[in-house]
């Protein structure tokens, strides 16, 4: 099959709005694919490459060569080229990858280039990804969408399912079952406002502690143990202590769902950053931070598939094979209408937070394990903190936000009237707010580098966030985690905004030591006010982001915005960008 056909259908899919129309277009293409092409054509139209990593990013994909006049590339040729590129390593690798991808792109027409660049860059933006591709595959082969989705979740890749379906029809899906040694998509949770909200929505449920670490799916088969992350990356080699623990369990085989965290001598959890660093270290298991696995679900035990069992029954199995300290703490709220039960659930959640963990997850007792779905039967509850911060700058949006100012740079007040940037956010904004802030920030603009619009620091915005994390990027040595906009506070002036000191001494900051700050005994930063860390001594030697109300230095925009970033491929090349806001 020619790449041109895929590029054409992708453009058509992007051009229609209705999902049913997108699915119909995808199905039309998939019907024409040979079984052998299915593992390429279907994932491509889902915005996925079979090569998990290619080493190609915005840097190697910018300024592509002139396109070809007529289509000639086949899908198989594209795949072969990308496989070869993924295998390039060693000295000169980047240049070699660039040379090879340019050779590929030179054989592509303009429309094919647009498709390939988006596909490889991971931003297909056609309004259809995995779910709609699976539906299209179902429509093309006569299978039910549910059966296709289930096969993909259990059997791994969309490509493998496509090959089987195109070759043998719907009956082929029977072969895709939970299999020890082959990871399944983990079940995900939605968010509840608080414990009471969760209890109201779920009815009888378990309340489990939510640990802030790395999600792991552990497969044990005899002496063989393998460990996968949430996105099904195999990290077995990085977690020898987990392998050892799994081998001790009194089972012949099992598939367990859990989280790895790190505990200090007092049993309190280390920050997420430390756990992520340890798990990310390939060879650093020796001498690194010791990790503790904590399991909360069992998907299979001794050859029995437990996915269809209720949460309650799966937990019975889990408790049978995993001893107490390796199991998540939980409380069963069998009758959430009962006032005492609700009080106990709230008290349990409060205790989890006191012990330094992230929050709780409420799980409906009668729900099966729905692989890959962010179903409503698991609800997470985490405390939310808020601050009133000042908008220092805004970045131009991409995609559907093109032409609007989107990503806000957020600052907290410093004693001298300047502002310390604590991070950015684009979340929580409605279209109306985007429209409004684009106009309002335009009025406050003092400098525009084509990508980042620096403004007079006057606009106050209420920001919700989950906590603070160490940062070497931002001047206060901390950054907000998961910041999102709640509302604009036009009733407040910049002088009313929260201060850096307030942020650092808040509950969210009490356990974080800003990067670059000298360790002072065991003092948490909350007892080490910023007054002892004079303004001006920035950990990374950067200029303050804003110069207070009298910003008179338009040539010194936000230091974090100089040069491109992986998230903003064109940040350093505004000329190559879309048209500016109208």
Partner DNA sequence: TTCCGACAGTGGGGTCGCAAT
Partner DNA sequence: ATTGCGACCCCACTATCGGAA
Q: Report how far apart, in Å, the C-alpha atoms of 131 and of each of 22, 230, 373 are.
A: 11, 18, 11
**Annotated catalytic residue 492:** no
CB 129, min distance to DNA, A: 4
Q: What residues from 286 to 345 belong to the interface with DNA (CB under 7 A)?
A: none
CB of 59 to DNA, least distance (A): 3
Q: How far is the CB of 309 from DNA (least distance, A)?
A: 19
Q: Between 372 and 548, whose beta carbon lies closer to DNA?
A: 372
Residue with tokens 């309340």: 207
215 labelled as ligand-binding?
Answer: yes
Tokens 């994390």 belong to which residue? 469
Concatenated DSSP letters of 277-300: HHHH-SSTTTTS---EEEEEEEEE
Residues 54-73 that bind DNA (CB under 7 A): 54-61
User: Which residues from 402-431 bind DNA, rule CB under 7 A?
Assistant: 406-407, 423-431
Q: Which residue has the tokens 């990067």?
A: 515
15 belongs to the binding site for DNA (CB under 7 A): no
Out of 283, 286, 518, 555, name the contact with DNA by CB under 7 A: 283
How far is it, in rounded angstroms, from Cα 511 to Cα 421?
A: 20
Site string for DNA, 115-134 (x = CB under 7 A): --------xxxxxxxxxxx-
Only one of the segments 89-97, 262-270, 294-302, 530-538 lies at the binding site for DNA (rule: CB under 7 A); that segment is 89-97
Q: Per rule CB under 7 A, is residue 473 in the interface with DNA?
A: yes
Q: Which of 244, 276, 337, 576 binds DNA (CB under 7 A)?
A: 276
Strands (E), 101-168: none
Contacts of 454 (CB under 8 A, 6+ apart): 392, 393, 445, 446, 447, 448, 546, 551, 554, 557, 558
Q: Which of 166, 279, 306, 476 binds DNA (CB under 7 A)?
A: 279
Which residue among 314, 329, 357, 382 contacts DNA (CB under 7 A)?
382
Check binding of 277 to DNA (CB under 7 A): yes
In this chain, which stretch among 316-324, 327-335, 412-420, 566-574 interacts with DNA, using CB under 7 A?
Answer: 566-574
Residue range at the interface with DNA (CB under 7 A); choices 12-20, 244-252, 332-340, 519-527: 12-20
- CB distance 308 to 368 below 8 Å: yes
* Strand-pair partners of 460: 390
Find out whether 374 is annotated in a ligand binding site.
yes
Q: Residue 428 CB, nearest distance to DNA (Å)?
A: 4
The set of residues, in sequence order, having a beta carbon less than 8 Å from that of 411 and lying 6+ positions away, is 389, 390, 391, 392, 419, 420, 421, 422, 457, 497, 545, 546
User: How far lies 93's CA from each of 54, 56, 103, 226, 299, in Å?
Assistant: 11, 11, 15, 31, 41
Residues annotated within the binding site for ATP are 208, 215, 230, 259, 296, 374, 380
Could you list the active site residues?
210
């Amino acid at each position: 099959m020619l790449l041109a056909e895929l590029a054409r259908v992708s453009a058509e899919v992007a051009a229609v709005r209705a999902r049913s129309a997108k699915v119909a277009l995808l199905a039309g293409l998939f019907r024409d694919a040979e079984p052998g092409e299915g593992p390429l054509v279907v994932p491509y139209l889902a915005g996925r490459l079979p090569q998990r990593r290619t080493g190609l990013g915005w840097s190697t994909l910018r300024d592509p060569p002139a396109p070809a006049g007529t289509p000639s590339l086949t899908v198989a040729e594209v795949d072969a080229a990308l496989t070869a590129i993924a295998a390039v390593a060693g000295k000169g690798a980047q240049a070699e990858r660039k040379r090879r991808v340019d050779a590929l792109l030179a054989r592509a027409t303009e429309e094919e280039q647009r498709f390939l660049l988006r596909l490889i860059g991971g931003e297909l933006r056609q309004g259809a990804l995995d779910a709609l591709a699976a539906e299209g595959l179902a429509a093309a082969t006569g299978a039910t969408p549910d059966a296709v989705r289930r096969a993909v979740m259990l059997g791994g890749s969309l490509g493998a399912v496509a090959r089987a379906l195109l070759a043998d029809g719907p009956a082929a899906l029977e072969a895709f079952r939970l299999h020890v040694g082959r990871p399944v998509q983990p079940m995900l949770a939605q968010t509840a406002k608080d414990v009471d909200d969760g209890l109201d929505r779920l009815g009888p449920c378990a309340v489990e502690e939510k640990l802030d670490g790395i999600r792991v799916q552990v497969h044990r088969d005899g002496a063989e143990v393998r460990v996968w992350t949430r996105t099904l990356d195999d990290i077995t080699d990085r977690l020898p202590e987990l392998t050892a623990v799994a081998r001790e369990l009194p089972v012949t085989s099992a598939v367990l769902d859990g989280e790895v965290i790190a505990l200090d001598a007092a049993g309190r959890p280390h920050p997420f950053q430390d756990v992520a660093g340890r798990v990310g270290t390939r060879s650093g298991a020796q001498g690194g931070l010791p990790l503790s696995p904590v399991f909360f679900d069992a998907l299979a035990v001794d050859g029995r598939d437990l996915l269809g069992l209720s949460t309650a029954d799966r937990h019975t199995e889990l408790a049978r094979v995993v001893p107490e300290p390796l199991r998540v703490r939980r409380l069963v709220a069998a009758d959430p209408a009962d006032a005492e039960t609700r009080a106990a659930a709230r008290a349990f959640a409060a205790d989890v937070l006191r012990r330094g963990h992230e929050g709780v997850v409420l799980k409906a007792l009668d729900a099966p394990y729905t692989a890959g779905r962010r179903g409503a039967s698991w609800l997470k509850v985490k405390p939310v903190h808020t601050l009133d911060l000042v908008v220092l700058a805004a970045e131009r949006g991409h995609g559907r936000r093109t032409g609007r100012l989107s990503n806000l740079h957020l600052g907290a007040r410093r004693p001298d009237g300047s502002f310390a940037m604590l991070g950015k956010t684009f979340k929580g904004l409605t279209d109306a707010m985007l429209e409004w802030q684009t106009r309002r920030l335009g009025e406050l603009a003092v400098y525009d580098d084509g990508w980042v619009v620096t403004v007079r620091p006057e606009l106050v915005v209420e920001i919700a966030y989950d906590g603070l994390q160490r940062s070497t990027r931002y001047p206060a040595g901390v950054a907000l985690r998961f910041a999102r906009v709640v509302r604009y506070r036009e009733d407040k002036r910049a002088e009313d905004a929260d201060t850096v000191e307030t942020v650092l001494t808040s509950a969210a900051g009490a356990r974080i030591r800003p990067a670059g700050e000298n360790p002072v005994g065991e003092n948490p930063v909350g007892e080490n006010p910023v007054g002892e860390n004079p303004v001006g001594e920035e950990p990374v030697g950067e200029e303050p982001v804003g110069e207070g109300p009298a910003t008179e230095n338009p040539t010194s925009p936000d230091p974090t915005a100089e040069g491109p970033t992986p998230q903003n491929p064109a940040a350093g090349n505004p000329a190559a960008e879309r048209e500016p806001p109208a």
